[in-house]
Amino acid sequence: MNSNAFVPPVRRTAAALTAAALAAAPVLLAGAAPAYASGGDGKAGAVVLRADLGVTLLDQTRVPLNVTLNEVQAPESASETLLTARVEGAHRGRPVEVLKAAVATAEAKTEAGKAEGRANLVNARVFVPGLKKHPLIELDQVTSTAVCPAGGQPTAEAKIPGHVTVFGQRVELSAEGTARADVEGIGSVELALAKTTTTATTAAATALELQVSVTPELTAPKKLNVAAVEGKVTLVEATCESPAGGSGDS
């Protein structure tokens, strides 16, 4: 499940931000990592998108945009494919499309001596405020899986395509590491690729992590009232912690 929270702007008046997926489940406006289920059965979590962005308006007021889509904890799943957000002062008060996809699923479960998180995103476009005609990223498919068996070694895997499109520019990706896109008139995006970590009892996988620094005021209509957007967008993350009953080797 997801839930809503409100975050005050960094500067000036108490501008508010509201976000909602246009479907049955609400969207979580929240912090740094997917939630876990706790207890002796282990823990697992997954999330399709997490955005932690600062939006600077033309008058230099800064409004936070902190949203998630399909964030779950075991035993849960979610499959909403559209996320919008409202940033006060921007886009004439209308909702901003953040993500649209053919498939966007997250599942977390703990059963049969195993904790497992999975997330999947297919044929997706992600946007930031002020650039509604220029997707931040377009991708075919990314997946992340984290599996933590009781008494066994946890595993983490993130699969990414050979390339993505960032603000209309094709970016070739390696199996891991980083990539960067500098787009004239818009800004820069740094991509962390297929990040995975494991310990004796935990695992985590993130398909893509985007560090964004863009200036929509250079190309976007003034009526959108967005000067700059900076921050991080995380796509397709899965985590787990082993159930009680043993641990793997370090």
Kindly indicate the confidence band of residue 148, based on its pLDDT and cuts at 50, 70 and 90.
Answer: very high
Q: Any residues with CB less than 8 A from the CB of 68 and at least 6 apart, and which? A: 2, 27, 28, 29, 30, 47, 49, 50, 51
Tokens 């497992």 sit on residue: 116
Is 28's pLDDT higher than 60? no
* pLDDT given for residue 221 in this prediction: 86
191 in a structural domain? yes
Q: Give the Cα separation of 234 and 168 in Å (integer).
A: 19
Q: What is the pLDDT of residues 90-111, one digit of tens each?
A: 998 899 999 999 999 999 999 8
Give the phi and the psi of residue 212 in degrees, each rounded to 5: -110, 135
Kindly indicate the confidence band of residue 246, based on its pLDDT and cuts at 50, 70 and 90.
Answer: low
250 in a structural domain? no
| Other Cβ atoms within 10 Å of 32 Cβ, number | 8
126 in a structural domain? yes
90 in a structural domain? yes
Is 13's pLDDT higher than 60? no
Q: Give the Cα separation of 130 and 169 in Å (integer).
A: 18
132 in a structural domain? yes
Q: What is the pLDDT of residues 36-47, one digit of tens each?
A: 444 478 999 999
For residue 186, the enclosing domain spans: 17-34+44-241
155 in a structural domain? yes
Q: What is the pLDDT of residues 163-192, one digit of tens each?
A: 999 999 999 999 889 999 999 999 999 999
Domains held by the chain: number: 1
2 in a structural domain? no
Burial of 249 (0-12, 13-18, 19+ CB in 10 A): exposed
